[in-house]
Amino acid sequence: MLKYLLLLFIIWLAWRVYRVSRQRLARRSEAAPSAPQDMVQCARCGTYLPRSNALTDNLDPGRCYCRDHAPASHNKP
Ligand SMILES: [Zn+2]
């Protein structure tokens, strides 16, 4: 009788470990998606790039450029 109780306990324990590991995996995959980035267009080639990667002109801060077309007086926004 004790043998069956021990077997049931082991099965229950394995099931609990399985459930907890599944919940942890689900929580990891539910991690907050990254916030949408503001996209800007290069004033020379028209390529869209994230504002964080764009370079601006010190003389004309309204214009953004990609790394390939950065003006000499560029400034990272
Ligand atoms: Zn460009």
Residues around the ion ligand 1 (C-beta < 5 A): 42, 44-45, 66, 69
In a domain, 25, yes or no: no
Ligand 1 centroid to 35 CA: how many Å? Answer: 24
Residue 50's beta-bridge partner residues? 39
pLDDT score for 28: 81
State which residues form the domain around 69.
Answer: 39-75
In a domain, 12, yes or no: no
In a domain, 22, yes or no: no
In a domain, 56, yes or no: yes
In a domain, 11, yes or no: no
Ligand 1 centroid to 61 CA: how many Å? Answer: 16
Q: Dump pLDDT digits (tens) for 2-43.
A: 888 888 888 888 898 888 888 888 888 777 677 888 999 999
Q: Dump pLDDT digits (tens) for 42-73.
A: 999 999 999 999 998 888 888 999 999 988 87
In a domain, 30, yes or no: no
Both structure tokens of 17: 């470990």
In a domain, 32, yes or no: no
Q: Is 46 left (phi over 0), alpha (psi -120 to 50) or beta?
A: left
Q: Provide the number of structural domains found in the chain.
A: 1
pLDDT score for 76: 56
Ligand 1 centroid to 50 CA: how many Å? Answer: 13
